[in-house]
Amino acid sequence: MSTYLVICQDLARECGVAGGASASPNPTAVTGQVGELKRVVNYVEQAWTEIQNRHPNWRWMRRAFTVTTSSGDDSYAFGDVTDVDASAVIDRFAHWRVTAPDDPPKSYLSSAGVATEQWLIWASWDWFKRIYRIGTQNNSEPAHIAIDPQNNLVLGPKPNGAYVITGDFQRGAQILAANGDTPDMPARYHDLIMYTAMKKYALFHGAPELLEAAKEGIRVYTPQLEKDQLPEIFLGQPMA
């Protein structure tokens, strides 16, 4: 497992940055750097953000959510919703994962217990508006879930009580900031961050040997990470 600082030190060593191969590895911290070491720190941060944003459905960035509704309130921003794994309000949010027909969100009346849990049906926002945003609506047990233009979860009908809604969301990018920050992805792929940062360093300095080393490292680690951390692809049923 590599920390932000360790990845920066690895990059400095591999790129031959002054002090990067000394007995006391440089940089000694990710803050307060200038010149080449500042570039090293910045490239590692940028590389990690770039990798996270490369695909919208990395497995390590998928988390479970839960929210308990209030009667008559049909709209919930991510700041109203709990990240189940963190046991805290969602703080890094990219998008909801509530549209897949094979993995829909669920709902149950809190007072009735989880044994009464039901699937919620995904609805596009335009369809949802035609059904639930016209005339006078009666509050009832939610049956549909949609995402409005502000990225809020919206339930229809409006709940008539406290319902527990559960599902999944995709986290936003982790921003490395402190020495001990550890990238969220599986540790066995952390070298991909270094090689991606090395490519940036090599392009800036016009260093072809470093660039080839970086490309080779990226070529090795990227397909391994994608195979491990992206959803499997299945062939559809024959059309005839």
Determine the average pLDDT of the residues in 28-44.
96
Cβ atoms within 10 Å of 91's Cβ, excluding its own: 11
Interval 62-93: pLDDT, tens: 999 999 999 999 999 999 999 999 999 999 99
Given a contact cutoff of 8 angstroms between Cβ atoms, the answer to whether 218 and 31 are in contact is: no
Token code pair at residue 51? 């990798």
Given a contact cutoff of 8 angstroms between Cβ atoms, the answer to whether 139 and 132 are in contact is: no
Q: Of 22-31, 122-131, 198-207, which range is least confident?
A: 22-31
3-class secondary-structure state, position 25: coil
Q: Which H or E element spans position 62?
A: strand 62-68
Q: Which of 167, 186, 183, 177 is nearest to 95 (CA)?
A: 167
CA 201 vs CA 102, 104, 191, 198: distances in Å: 43, 43, 15, 5
- Please tell me the pTM assigned to this model: 0.89
Length of the chain (residues): 240
